[in-house]
């Protein structure tokens, strides 16, 4: 399989999945609300996938990202609440958000430090911290979640591009919501005289998607233009050669896992805001989706290869696939089988390509 086909395959697969789901479930799949949900969900998994991309390029793996997300959310939820009751102050919300992200940084530093200082395999270290982080998230509130009903901005907030004045008709032939007028996002029209069922609905780009775009740009800049990015590829391609070339391998690996932890913390805040609760079960199995997205996007589990653009395509593919399977009534357990098969298939294709390259 030549390089061009390998790079084109993820995008072609994404196109085929969208086309197939459009044909099978046109009424439910091809709606603005469904696409908004897919992109919103892709935002926090995609943010973590940006960090996982760097980890896998470096020749490592991080199985703890799902459990880490739960810990970050629970720490933030603990700060945002007082005796289990939400304290409705903006200050506590911001403090909780910052501390949640810092928690991700500390978890990432722990992973990187254990891997480098003890010279342990990333698989073993992150398998252990995956269990430890999950246990901590359950212990923090005795297995119960923290309700944060006022923490909505990151998950539900939007950057308004326009507003519509809509009126709901409760019954009859014209029942449903009807758009009366489209107005600019900065306007505050008077609804008096339109009845009790009239409301202003903002439309625009979800805040979580904007954050995802920002993280994508940061990840692209790091991997493409910063020394850390070049060292990441060098370490993944040949760790010993990178060391003898003067690269501080341990320091760069710790930085990679620390940045991944920050991204997990940001994603945890978005997930907490989307569900308006910090849950100890958050992120269970998410690491499989993220690893699948990165590998589908062209990254090699052997290290040395991977791109931000490829990971974006892989993230969207997994998100659309899960969304479509859910709309088709396929259970979550079967979806896990599908995701597992995708990971095996993607790794098999990568191995075939590597074997062919070695023989030519």
Tell me which residue has tokens 């989307």: 274
Weakest mean pLDDT among 82-86, 135-139, 143-147, 275-279: 82-86
Q: What is residue 174's predicted lDDT score, i.e. its pLDDT?
A: 57
Compute the chain's Rg from CA coordinates.
22
Q: What is residue 176's predicted lDDT score, i.e. its pLDDT?
A: 60
Residue 339, pLDDT > 90, answer: no
pTM here is: 0.90
Cβ distance 272 to 76 under 8 Å? Answer: yes
pLDDT-above-70 percentage for the chain: 90
**Residues near 246 by Cβ (< 8 Å), separated by ≥ 6?**
none
- CA-to-CA distance for 148 and 76, rounded, in angstroms? 10
- Residue 278, SS3 per DSSP: strand
- Residue 84, SS3 per DSSP: coil
Tell me which residue has tokens 């998950």: 155
pLDDT-above-90 percentage for the chain: 55
- CA-to-CA distance for 343 and 349, rounded, in angstroms? 10
Mean pLDDT, rounded, for 266-276: 95
Domain residue extents for the chain: 44-161+203-284+298-306
Which one-letter DSSP state was computed for residue 171? S
- CA-to-CA distance for 127 and 61, rounded, in angstroms? 10
Cβ distance 163 to 202 under 8 Å? Answer: yes
Residue 151, pLDDT > 60, answer: yes
């Amino acid at each position: 399989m030549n390089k061009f086909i390998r790079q084109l395959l993820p995008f072609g697969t994404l196109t085929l999945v969208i086309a197939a789901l459009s044909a099978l479930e046109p009424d439910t799949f091809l709606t603005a609300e469904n696409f908004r949900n897919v992109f919103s969900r892709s935002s926090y998994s995609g943010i973590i996938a940006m960090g996982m991309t760097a980890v896998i390029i470096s020749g490592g793996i991080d199985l703890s990202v799902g459990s880490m997300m739960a810990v970050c959310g629970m720490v933030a939820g603990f700060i945002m609440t007082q005796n289990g009751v939400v304290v409705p102050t903006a200050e506590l919300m911001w403090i909780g958000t910052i501390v949640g992200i810092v928690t991700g940084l500390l978890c990432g530093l722990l992973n990187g430090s254990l891997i480098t200082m003890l010279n342990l395999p990333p698989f073993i270290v992150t398998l252990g911290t995956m269990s430890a982080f999950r246990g901590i998230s359950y212990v923090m509130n005795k297995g119960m979640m923290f309700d944060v009903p006022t923490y909505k901005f990151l998950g539900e907030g939007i950057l308004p591009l326009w507003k519509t004045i809509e009126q709901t008709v409760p019954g009859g032939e014209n029942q449903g919501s009807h758009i009366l007028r489209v107005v600019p996002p900065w306007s505050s029209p008077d609804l008096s005289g339109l009845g009790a069922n009239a409301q202003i609905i903002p439309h625009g780009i979800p805040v979580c998607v904007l954050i995802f775009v920002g993280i994508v740009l940061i990840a692209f800049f790091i991997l493409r233009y910063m020394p850390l990015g070049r060292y990441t590829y060098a370490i993944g391609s040949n760790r010993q050669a990178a060391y003898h070339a003067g690269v501080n391998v341990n320091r760069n690996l710790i930085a990679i896992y620390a940045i991944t932890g920050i991204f997990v913390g940001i994603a945890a805040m978005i997930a907490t805001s989307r569900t308006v609760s910090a849950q100890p079960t958050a992120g269970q199995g998410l690491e499989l989706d993220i690893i699948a997205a990165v590998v589908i996007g062209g990254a090699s589990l052997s290290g040395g290869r991977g791109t931000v653009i490829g990971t974006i395509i892989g993230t969207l593919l997994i998100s659309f696939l899960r969304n479509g399977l859910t709309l088709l009534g396929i259970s979550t357990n079967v979806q896990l089988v599908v995701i597992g098969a995708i990971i095996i298939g993607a790794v098999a294709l990568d191995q075939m390509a590597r074997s062919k390259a070695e023989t030519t």
